[in-house]
Structure 1
């Protein structure tokens, strides 16, 4: 049974990554991406939160509360990959600055590609990675779909709108199916991961990531909310591509999936705690 589940899960992973990033590109224009990033101070603070402080939080927490090797790799790897495709939509739902969230997401995605390739051996020194092979996979599975979507949006906007609608459905379907297949294929690993120390470490990591983004988001409440959400959320697409290509242990991907599951209750709680005073 596992001989079917594992390959099917990997296939759904590839389908999710390509459809999600192609759909993201189809929904954006260069002006939407660049306009919110005109503030140099905000760009610097956003990069500091996304690529300095959040990974540092993950590294420090795994030193304070040592996790099993694949769980530690999964947490640190996810902390390195900023740029969730759902950031603009979630920011809009919680009444944050959606325009800034769009620019932030795209900046995070592009920087994450370079960041992971450059620093994975620094933050995970015990891991041996074929950088050329990994770079090729990231370019093909992440950069090309995103760039293709942006190009099609610029050249054929009406077709891009129709295609983006269907790709959103494909990406959501493949995401849920991928989660189910990975969990079914690695059921015992999921149960092993969900012990108190691991869950507590992940919850503290998520909470501190949100707080870091909130504190560095500047004086505007909408921007603070967007960076806080963008610091807590990570790019599952990039993290799982790297995990599937660079690590043989399926528990790395299972850990990443488990973190996303724990995000579901943590994010609403953090948004409520840090809501502007006077809000309902």
Structure 2
């Protein structure tokens, strides 16, 4: 059959429309995941309990800040410079390496039978750290890229800190209401995460034929595994600190990374590589969490935080 120049076959147009649909769906799923996951964490925590951990484990939290915002980004920068990658994938990896404080840490801590209240305290500190560090460091690390500092700050405050604070206040002052809605918010967070992963994989399926994508995934996964070891060392010999330190460092801040990628970069490859590296990391960290719990039966991803009150250590 002769193809008329400049006219795409109907099947090809349908294929492009399908990819565009899933790319758009993925963009909306990012927002739903960030808002629901941060609200979900807030609904499982009380400010008073977190404050006690902030006082008791002050030195550990300072080590976590240093490791997550200085050491790990420096390692990512060094490795990205050594490996030949497309600039768009370099950008995604650098953003992913700089961002810390993933809400999935709560679920990982639950799987590993770690201290959930301590994990929430680490998450809170790292989330606040993103607000301070990202607007300053992104323009420096992403040399040549245009980063809207105010937009980054505004999005982090409205999409992460605000829902987290609302959830914590509800749990503190209207606990029964918070307990009622928390499972539903958790389910929304789960569903949006699954939709996000599926939409990104399908929407950018043609890009997976590019070896550069797989090379970037391997680089990102290597840094995550190295982060797991370094975070373990931050525990200073204490079992509950080692578990939370390793999982809290290796699970990078996918929510702030997605906010930065979606708000500042037109190339969808930045968001794609962040999502794919995070997916590879989640699988590896679930296995690690099961090993920490001395239960090697690996379960399906179920990132619904349970109420941490039942196992919190103070």
TM-score (normalizing by structure 2): 0.82
Change (3 A) 1:94 1:3: closer
Q: 1-side partners of 2:213 and 2:159: how far apart?
A: 33
Name 2:184's counterpart in structure 1.
Answer: 166
In the other structure, the counterpart of 1:254 is: 272
Paired with 1:133 and 1:264, the residues of 2 have a C-alpha distance of 28
Deviation of 1:118 after TM superposition, in Å, equals: 1.4
Q: Which runs of 5+ in 2 are unaligned?
A: 1-16, 297-314
Residues 84, 230 of structure 1: 8 Å contact kept? yes
Q: 1:86 aligned to 85, 104, 110, which one? A: 104
SS of residue matched to 2:71:
helix
For 2:151, the equivalent position in structure 1 comes to: 133
Q: Could you tell me which residue of structure 2 aligns to residue 211 of structure 1?
A: 229
* Partners of 1:20 and 1:67 in 2: CA distance: 32
- Bigger Cα displacement from structure 2, 198-207 vs 227-236: 198-207
Q: For residue 196 of structure 1, report the CA deviation from its aligned partner.
A: 5.3
Q: 2:252 is matched with which residue: 198, 213, 234?
A: 234
| 1:53 is aligned to 2:71 | yes
In the TM superposition, what whole-angstrom CA distance separates every residue of 1:216-247 from its partner, at most 9, and x where no partner exists? Answer: 22120121111001000012111111110011
Matched with 1:96 is 114
**Partner deviation per Cα, 1:31-60 (whole Å, 9 max, x = no partner):** 222222223321221111111111111111
- Seen in structure 2, the aligned counterparts of structure 1 residues 93 and 4 have a Cα distance that, compared at 3 Å, is closer
Structure 1, gaps ≥5 residues long: none
Larger Rg: 2
TM-score by length of 1: 0.91
Structure 1 pair 211/142, CA: closer, same or farther in 2 (3 Å)? same
- For 1:34, the equivalent position in structure 2 comes to 51
Task: Compute the displacement of 1:88 (Å).
Answer: 2.5
User: Structure 1 residues 269 and 152, CA, compared in 2 at 3 Å: closer, same or farther?
Assistant: closer
Q: Give 1:23's match in structure 2, choosing from 40, 43, 47.
A: 40
Partner of 1:9: 26
| 8 Å CA contact retained: 2:111, 2:289 | no
Supply the distance in 2 between the matched residues of 1:9 and 1:99 (Cα, whole angstroms): 31
Contact 1:81–1:238, Cα closer than 8 Å, also in 2: yes
| Offset, 1:192 | 2.0
Query: Aligned partners of 1:152, 1:272: CA distance in 2, in Å?
Result: 32
State the superposition RMSD in angstroms: 2.2
2:201 to 183, 208, 217: 183
TM superposition shift of 1:115: 1.2
> 1:36-89 CA deviation, whole Å, 9 max, x = no partner?
222332122111111111111111110121321121111111122211112123
1:128-178 CA-partner distances (Å, limit 9, x unpaired):
111122222222212211111112222211111111110110111111112
Secondary structure of the residue that 2:143 maps to in structure 1?
Answer: coil
Render the CA deviation track for 1:178-227: whole Å, top value 9, x for unaligned.
Answer: 21112222112233266553243123211111111111221201211110
Preserved contact between residue 35 and residue 103 of structure 1 (Cα < 8 Å) = no
Return the alpha-carbon distance in structure 1 between the equivalents of residues 182 and 274 of structure 2.
26
Structure 1, 4-13 or 42-51: larger mean CA deviation:
4-13
Q: Quote the offset at 1:265 in angstroms.
A: 4.0
